[in-house]
Chain A
């Protein structure tokens, strides 16, 4: 094949022979919002089709219209300060307290494990062991210890969110390379200085990754806590609606709840962009 080309006199080589056109995949030329809208429309279309053809019982899957109507109802209730807003506020409080607690405990344990030989040798194995347990199974214990109020939900939410923060912090503290460590040693830096001025800033991207995973977990923890431990939060509304087979209500409640989760995630991400300004995140998963 190459012979064919090289044996040709130079002047007979046409453009068609020499130009290698870079093919551009169709999807690369489509703006993201169009692609996302496309998926959304297909999803809603399929949903409408499945329900209007009567393939699924309306108790199991309401129509998109019913769901939308209920979302407007719930939205109105929330905006007018109805009982749902009170429930949502309780859940938001659980999430905030849980997350704050998880950050405080997770970060401290992460430093202990990531910075000290004792922590790494003696504490880490226990953390790994607890982390592999199904943590929601502890929910009844938290209820027994802390009662049916928000404390037991805060505890479960914090419990679930702590581990990714520990792991993120510990990994972050190990992220500094040999050269940076040696450099700090040559500058005569104390252990504290090395930790604060070098290891922690170097590890911030990993720490924020842990925080983001924790932010997702804290939401799951609070709602699971409400499912299993009662109370007056949003999870309780979902549970009641589900027990009444009010599926449109369940759907719209979940949707509003996910907005809270998304908001928390975006707050963490925004903070990350401000704090870790030098670290360019890869565009893709997790990058809205």
Chain B
């Protein structure tokens, strides 16, 4: 392992390294697009990291590699001292769409990961926990409702529960709330922060919103496109827990402006 590069970014100040990415590159064979080049990252336990960058700069690709959904062309990914070679139980993922299955009720959707991994009996035992999780995200009373009857925000809450039911050590989030309106989005973000603190989880969020990245993150990975690389890692030293009114502080504005400047520059490169 190249020590110098591993040191390049050392994540949030606290906690042991959970994720270690070393010189990860990805070239899609199909169209020989170089989606990622030499990405090295370390995520520390309990930290919240966001990735931001223009469309097509390889954010989703990075997330999929970290999740073990696609292999990198070069480099390696280590999670909790074991190389990632496929989907893993200690990874929880969430996408832009809630993707709840309409033939299952809210709780049935939430215990689905258990049903797949450990069978129907285990899923049945997990129902109690699913109820607790629904309670945590404010969906008490909606346990036996089918997804058709949930609003977009409620569906995303349920899909948070589905991600949490297996107690993953890391949460990988690909623009999870970008389909929601701004008000619900802010609320969901605060909820996400609370859940991460409560569950002591390490989170990695892909977003297009600079504000969202700044309000949630300890570190913001700014990427530049073609090929996708890390331009800079911005540290956010706003106190925790974050509140929405921090968005009006000068410090918040400064960080947002700095990142916006970087992204604008990125477009010219």
Using a CB–CB distance below 8 Å, which chain A residues touch chain B?
177, 179-180, 182-189, 193, 197-198, 201-202, 277-280
Min CB gap B180→A, angstroms: 16
A187 lies within 8 A of B99 (CB): no
A187 lies within 8 A of B103 (CB): no
A179 lies within 8 A of B146 (CB): no
A185 lies within 8 A of B117 (CB): no
A187 lies within 8 A of B95 (CB): no
Min CB gap B174→A, angstroms: 9
B87 interface residue, CB < 8 Å from A? yes
- Write the chain B residue with the least CB distance to A194: B116
Chain B residue numbers with a CB within 8 Å of A277 are: 103
- Write the chain B residue with the least CB distance to A184: B116
Main SS class of interface, B: loop
B88-107 interface code vs A (CB 8 A; 1 in, 0 out): 11010101110101110000
Chain A residue numbers with a CB within 8 Å of B91 are: 186
Q: List 10 A-B contacts (CB under 8 A).
A: A177-B97, A182-B64, A182-B69, A187-B116, A188-B86, A188-B116, A197-B112, A198-B101, A278-B147, A278-B148
B35 interface residue, CB < 8 Å from A? no
How far is it, in angstroms, between the C-alpha of A148 and the C-alpha of B89 when the chains are bound? 61
B67 interface residue, CB < 8 Å from A? yes
Chain A residue numbers with a CB within 8 Å of B103 are: 201, 277-278
B69 lies within 8 A of A279 (CB): no
Chain B residue numbers with a CB within 8 Å of A201 are: 101, 103
How far is it, in angstroms, between the C-alpha of A180 and the C-alpha of B93 when the chains are bound? 12
B214-235 interface code vs A (CB 8 A; 1 in, 0 out): 0000000000000000000000
- Write the chain B residue with the least CB distance to A277: B103
Min CB gap B79→A, angstroms: 13
B113 interface residue, CB < 8 Å from A? yes
Chain B residue numbers with a CB within 8 Å of A185 are: 69, 87
B69 lies within 8 A of A183 (CB): no
Residue in A188, A189, A193, A198 whose CB lies within 8 Å of B89: A188
Chain B residue numbers with a CB within 8 Å of A280 are: 148
A183 lies within 8 A of B93 (CB): yes
Min CB gap B28→A, angstroms: 15
Min CB gap B160→A, angstroms: 13
Name the interface residues of B54-94: CB closer than 8 Å to any CB of A.
64, 67, 69, 86-89, 91, 93
| Given known contacts A180-B99, A186-B69, A197 and B87 CB-to-CB distance under 8 angstroms | no
Chain B residue numbers with a CB within 8 Å of A198 are: 101
Residue in A180, A186, A193, A202 whose CB lies within 8 Å of B87: A186
Chain A residue numbers with a CB within 8 Å of B96 are: 179
Chain A residue numbers with a CB within 8 Å of B117 are: 187-188
